[in-house]
Structure 1
Amino acid sequence: MPMSSAGATGKQSVMIDLQNRPLAWKIGAVFVGTLFLALSSYIEVPMVPVPVTLQTFAVALVGALYGWRLGGVTITAWLVEGALGLPVLAGGAAGIHHFIGPTGGYLFAFPIAGMVMGFLAERGWNGQRMVLAFAGMLASNILCLVLGAAWLAVLVGAEQAIMLGVVPFLLGAVLKSALGAAVLKLVSGRTARLPG
């Protein structure tokens, strides 16, 4: 698939140029993206009150690959599936009650975090600039933690929210960001060889 260019910088922006594709391509991309997000939800380390999953990794990657608009649509579609009862949330969970429980803030943060990463990727924070790709992925992960903990603080208090909803996830955020940057580098290398 061709990649789009970021104009004056000479750097390529999103990894996969879906904005210029027909509607059928975009619908297919949303479907594939929601499957990827659902699969990331099943890779889980149970913790209370918030489990460790690969969701933040997947959210940031979808944003980076799809761009902020289609990435946001894809992540929102996945959350709607979960709210409607499909087993696509952490560990195969489903239902609207997850959006008002301890994990609610994280769920609502996902589209925002993915769109932020997509916005940054469109401006060159992608696989061609590994340090910026890592920084963008980390910013996306931290945004999820901050917004998630803000909601958790309403339920359990600020100190508990930080200790239960932020601290246990910091190392994982760094590792997932490094993995995300590496994936973007790999995708960038492969797509750069495709005809434009």
Structure 2
Amino acid sequence: MQNPHTAAAADAQPAFVPLRFDRKSRLFQGGAILLGSLFLAICSWISVPMVPVPVTMQTFGVLVLGAMCGWRLALSASLVYLAEGALGLPVFAGGAAGAHHLLGPTGGYLISFPVAAALVGYLAEKGWMAGLLRSVGVMLLGHGLILTLGTVYLATKIGMDHALAVGFAPFVLGSVLKAALAASIIEAARRRR
């Protein structure tokens, strides 16, 4: 018979967060946060221009960061990424920069990144990404959150019908594909361990 304290401790362990930065020094964690923000910048530069919202790999990067690093580091890296862009570094889609992007048509999507990164990271830490199908589900949840918050904010600028037509519908298929790709990467990392 298993000791109840041992069973509870086993349940409390993160199911799978490959990059266990919570066990590293604060200096190491700070470097990881900067590298995470660079990863998001690189993902944003992979872009297909569309108006008013471009297709990028940012959402993929945000969610992979959450799943691989856990919610605290992913949240921090996403916030640093937004601060870098607001301060003028060319980290947003297409190399754009400036705080006005946080208030423009893409602002809702950008602001949702830390929330989605934290959500996916938290769910990964709680064991919700055990297996490929569950990982895809978590990634779809993260993409859904980004699309919903981004579209709602965009609707304040151009109306809900137009926001759904240009800020939501064109991104659904890409979100599904990016969710599947991200979940596959997480599953491959799990199997390597």
TM score, norm. by length of structure 2: 0.92
Partner of 1:122: 125
Structure 2 letter corresponding to 1:180? A
Partner of 1:38: 41
Higher helix share: 2
Gaps of 5+ in 2: 1-8
- Residue 97 of structure 2 corresponds to residue 86 of structure 1: no
Structure-2 separation of matches of 1:96 and 1:155:
17
Structure-1 separation of matches of 2:10 and 2:86:
39
Structure-2 separation of matches of 1:18 and 1:95:
30
Structure-1 separation of matches of 2:87 and 2:14:
40
TM-superposition CA deviations, 1:86-105 (whole Å, max 9, x none): 00000100000001100000
TM score, norm. by length of structure 1: 0.90
Q: Percent identity?
A: 46
Structure 2 letter corresponding to 1:156? I
TM-superposition CA deviations, 1:136-181 (whole Å, max 9, x none): 1111011000000010000000000111100000000000000000
Report how many aligned residue pairs link the two structures: 185
Gaps of 5+ in 1: 1-5
Cα displacement (A) at 1:187: 1.7
Partner of 1:3: none
Structure-2 separation of matches of 1:69 and 1:10:
16
Q: Say which of 11, 35, 38 aligns to 1:8.
A: 11
Partner of 1:184: 186
- Partner of 2:20: helix, strand, or coil? coil
Answer yes or no: is the 8 Å Cα contact 2:14–2:124 preserved in 1: no
Partner of 1:47: 50
Cα displacement (A) at 1:12: 2.5
- Partner of 1:48: helix, strand, or coil? coil
Across the aligned residues of Structure 1 and Structure 2, the Cα RMSD in angstroms comes to: 1.4
Q: Say which of 165, 168, 171 aligns to 1:169.
A: 171
Answer yes or no: is the 8 Å Cα contact 2:71–2:120 preserved in 1: yes
Partner of 2:3: none
